[in-house]
Structure 1
Amino acid sequence: MKAGKLNEPYIAIMKDGKLSYGGNQEWWKGRSMSGYGCGTIAATDILLYLDLHKDYCKGKEFQEEEKGNGILDAEVYEKCVETMCKKYFPIIPGLGIPGWLLGIEVNRYFIKNRIPLKAAFGVRSRNIPNRIKAMLAHDIPVILAIGPNFPIPLRKHKLAFYNKTEEGYEKIAETAAHFVVVTGFESEWLRISSWGREYYINFYEYQNYVKKHSCSLVSNICYIKKRK
């Protein structure tokens, strides 16, 4: 894949005197959000980004919270997330929000706010790189699902997250059954927002994880494009 990224800085939240890279479900004390709220966070973050940087993507839910520079105070951001959780992205106890429902609700948000975009979860596996590239070229962040192990979710296979260093890429964490937001790519490396921090995913490792340990029904993207 060729290099690509969002046109504007990704949203940041001022929390405890530090700027995050997107939101973090672990800021909430409740087990439901902190343990299973990654989909709600990812969806809220991309809709906030679109609201902030595209005139035709203004949503009623965010009008009072707009910040021209893309930096939100933690209390303002948390209020946004709780509103979106209540209206669009409910957290199912012990599960979170499945990808298919997340896609439906992003689409419902667009329709309700008369935004000329449409969303759906899931594209053919071979099309995922081009769809990510197309969305970033149109300055739309990409929700990527790292699905659970399939068909046996209790297995322990996970996907690695990396930090970018002067020497290359250093493995720093790993996860499964998690939503992240793709904000750019460099060669085979996807730059992502997760847990309020910037990480990198090796796309070929992601493909291998989906093929060997998960499946494209639960490991895929929320594809957003202009409505015809």
Structure 2
Amino acid sequence: MEKRPNDHEVVMLTGNADKTFVPVFHGRGTHYGGKQKWFKDKFYQDKGCGTVAAANIAWYMSKYVPGCEALYSKADISLENFIEHMNEILAFIKPSLIGVPTVHNLGHGMVLYAQSKGVNLKANYKSWKTDSSEFIKSGLRVDSPVAMLQYYRKVGYNWHWQTITKYYKDNKTHEEYIETSNWGRQYSYNLKPFKGNKFVYFTLK
């Protein structure tokens, strides 16, 4: 979904229009995507952010991208079912001592997970020649959440994965912003400190 009024530019996922994205629900409310603290094992609670980003993307694509329905096979998106989904993906995207260390690790694991469900995905990685803003928008325009790996602390977390759901630019100030799913909540950041990060999104082959 894209909007270009004179004063701003917005590119966001279809499923972000009502601020839900991946609406994992339980008795106390609805989360904005998954949360690594839901893993039973303490190691994955600390290191599992990349696996959760992949779980978010798989659920989202199953709902909004035709041909990807098999990426999430549960009856609904209750907390219990989404945790099972996270653990299914954990078999393909398993963190090391530094988590999921590269976009290629996450991309390769996600492609293998999709293949196990009969879905052929392609991982799209940002090259050094591609502007980060344009890459993020290219994913969102095809309704594919963009996984972002932040190596070093500038804003937010160090060596951490988040899932980008929206891009916004103020055409008067030229400031750019992103919205992300992070720890089951929605966050907004100025994009400038994140432009040196690594990014990946997925499309059907």
Once the two structures are TM-superposed, the CA of residue 30 in structure 1 deviates from its matched residue by 2.5
Aligned counterparts of 2:118 and 2:135: Cα–Cα separation in 1: 23
Query: Are 2:126 and 2:135, in contact at CA under 8 Å, matched by a contact in 1?
Result: no
Once the two structures are TM-superposed, the CA of residue 105 in structure 1 deviates from its matched residue by 1.2
Once the two structures are TM-superposed, the CA of residue 125 in structure 1 deviates from its matched residue by 5.6
Amino acid at match of 1:20: H
Residue of structure 1 equivalent to 2:160 = 178
Amino acid at match of 2:111: N
Residue of structure 1 equivalent to 2:178 = 190
Aligned counterparts of 1:112 and 1:14: Cα–Cα separation in 2: 26
Aligned counterparts of 1:126 and 1:201: Cα–Cα separation in 2: 21
2:69 matches 1:58: yes
**Aligned-pair identity (%):** 22
Q: After the TM superposition, which parts of structure 1 deviate over 4 Å for at least 4 consecutive aligned residues?
A: none
Gaps of 5+ in 2: 1-7, 170-175
Query: Are 2:121 and 2:203, in contact at CA under 8 Å, matched by a contact in 1?
Result: yes
**Cα 1:95–1:130 shift into 2, 3 Å:** same
Match runs of 1:193-208 below 5 Å: 193-207=181-195
**Could you state the TM-score of these two structures normalised by the residue count of structure 2?**
0.82
2:12 matches 1:5: yes
User: How many aligned residue pairs are there?
Assistant: 187
**Cα 1:122–1:108 shift into 2, 3 Å:** farther
RMSD: 2.0
Query: Are 1:102 and 1:121, in contact at CA under 8 Å, matched by a contact in 2?
Result: no
**Cα 1:31–1:134 shift into 2, 3 Å:** same
Gaps of 5+ in 1: 150-157, 161-173, 211-218
Q: Secondary structure at 2:24's aligned position in 1? A: strand
2:53 matches 1:42: yes
Deviates more, 1:198-207 or 1:25-34: 25-34
Query: Are 2:51 and 2:94, in contact at CA under 8 Å, matched by a contact in 1?
Result: yes
Query: Are 1:23 and 1:196, in contact at CA under 8 Å, matched by a contact in 2?
Result: yes
Once the two structures are TM-superposed, the CA of residue 193 in structure 1 deviates from its matched residue by 0.4
